Structure 1
Amino acid sequence: MTKVLEISHLNKTFGKFQALSDVSFTVNQGQVFGFLGPNGAGKTTTIRSVLGLLKRDSGTIKLMGEDATGNVLDTHRHIAYVPGDVYLWPNLTGGETIDLLLRMGGHARTKRVDDLIKLFELDPRKKNRTYSKGNRQKVALIAAFSANVDLYIFDEPTSGLDPLQARNFQDQILALKQAGKTVLLSSHILSEVEKVVDCVAVIRQGQIVEVGSLTDLQEHAALRINAQVQDWTPFQDYPKFHQELNGEISFTVARALLPKTMTALVTAGVTDLKVTPPTLEDLFMQYYDTGAVAHES
């Protein structure tokens, strides 16, 4: 499997503040890789280090096996990048900006540009200074999706987009995935990431706390139980225990302890039961909510 992006033991400080501490992960060809964490966790600092916009203190960053920071101009020709807040040349139109971004990256303008302009409902004749935040995002996204590169990097890309356009973004990510392209998608909006990613890295306070495929992480994460029982008291100490007005209870349990829990439910007189695998949000909160741990008794 071809390694498109390799980050190894990346460290970055701002004064006495340790922004990144020993960050390591690999993005392989054809993957949509989710880079997850709340604002301030270190996602953007990592990405800016990859792009050469920030100088790392130590560690290595490789793109297609080569040092990504050795020749930044060459590196950028292999990457399409959309930040979370796009700033554009105010006196250019959106269409002129898209054409300029493509030329700067060495990419030809194809019919795909016009198709994406129509899809994202952008008026390319307007000056950039008249655009809303959402429309500025559209300009950058159209330019990125129109480029044929080795790696697409999106850092909180749907900021300012309405739900319909956010869904169009997801569809375009899936199209890249189907074409065998490689995507690094940084976000704190878990619902949009869950629909498209293959692998996930979770960053917390500048440190990677988990890396793995979404399927593997779900296999090891807690399950959510929703049940109707005659006696709910044996379950009141389980994590995230909650009782609805209709008497239904819910809680989480480690997958390995599911047989034991099923026995307890039968003893408690279960009359209805639903076992739900963890969502990406559930997985994420296990690393950010100290109370979100599986029941171990």
Structure 2
Amino acid sequence: MSKGMVFNIQKFSIHDGPGIRTTVFLKGCPLRCQWCSNPESQLDHIQILYDQEKCVHCQTCVHVCPHHAIKHQNQRIIIQQDQCVGCLSCVQACPQKALSHEGELKDTDEIVRICLQDQDFYEESDGGVTISGGEGMSQPAFVRELVEKLKAKNIHMAIETTGYIEPDIFHELAPLFDLLLFDVKHYDSQQHFKGTAVYNELIISNLKWAIEHHIEVLPRIPVIPDFNASLDDALGLAKLLVSVGAKRVQLLPFHQFGEKKYEMLNRDYTLKNKKALHPEDLKDYQKIFIDQGLDCFF
């Protein structure tokens, strides 16, 4: 039985595919998007989070860490991720609960059991289970086993994917799903790299392959200020989607829901002062997709 590194199982999700869903969030992602709202998902192992507001600077965590991975510096606790092995000694010892962790190994049977608790809701709403992340395909053996077990229970399966997956893995896993929620972040490879630290050729190739093989795909564009939010960007993205045979697209306006997590991970957040976007801000942006013959919605 496979085990996967999971950092959240969210019930009653309504934004991760059709109907009422359970979303299983897996750790590990090959991209480093500057706007990522789940930065705790990027690394594939357990991470310690630090809430400075709760800390009384007793330094208990510094003393109990068996690997000397914690230091107290400038009135902050610093977790040295390259030395931390995720033993959780510090989390368990912290008297103020200022330390928490993200990531836990779970086997497929446990996750199936949790998901099936809401099977009635799936049936009533035409919902199901969505694999998310991070990158949902970054743990391929675990994902395959989990999807096959849930499909055996007639559960509708979706996945949120960056598309940045080696073709042999993508070709194996993508057909298992009823729906691919497929991120498309930029039409220009150089700009894509500036925002995500990877180029987009592999992503576009996998997107085209999935559409050509009649897998249900919903491209989704996170609209990010100073990255892909101009009307010229909209036109470039629309033409890209038309060229690969897409028929519809969902726009995801930029938000700041993940900002606090960067502070807790002791990471800089480059979009800290950017204003959130809302559908009413993107009507002209949306119209460009519609004018290109795409069903474009929020």
TM-score (norm 1): 0.26
User: Which structure features the higher share of strand residues?
Assistant: 1
Which structure would you say has the larger Rg?
A: 1
TM-score (norm 2): 0.26
